[in-house]
């Protein structure tokens, strides 16, 4: 099962793979920013807005990462059907 998924990602179109990789890098960067904000909140408990900002950024990074993967798979499937 895992090999099938890996082979599917290896067979993606170059442009789709490039967009997915850049999108996942952006999501990783957003996740690192959220972790930094949450660590800052952990050391300074006087500013509760930091918790909400960090939590929202973390959720956004997860949602964007999942959307990049799903949309990349869908776009690649549509491209292969049209060709």
Write the pLDDT tens digit of every residue in 6-57.
Answer: 788 888 888 888 988 999 999 999 999 999 999 999 888 778 898 999 999 9
Question: Global pTM?
Answer: 0.80
* DSSP secondary structure code for residue 48 in this structure: T
- What's the pLDDT at 83? 64
Q: Please name the residue that has the structure tokens 């920013």.
A: 33
- What's the pLDDT at 39? 92
What would the mean pLDDT of 74-79 be, rounded to a whole number? 88
Distance separating alpha carbons of residues 34 and 30, to the nearest angstrom: 6
- What's the pLDDT at 54? 92
């Amino acid at each position: 099962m895992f090999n099938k998924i890996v082979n599917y990602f290896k067979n993606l179109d170059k442009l789709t793979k490039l967009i997915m990789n850049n999108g996942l890098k952006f999501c990783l960067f957003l996740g690192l920013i959220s972790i930094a904000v949450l660590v800052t909140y952990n050391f300074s408990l006087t500013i509760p807005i930091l918790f909400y900002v960090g939590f929202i950024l973390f959720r956004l990074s997860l949602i964007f990462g999942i959307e990049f993967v799903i949309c990349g798979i869908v776009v690649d499937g549509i491209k292969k059907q049209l060709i």
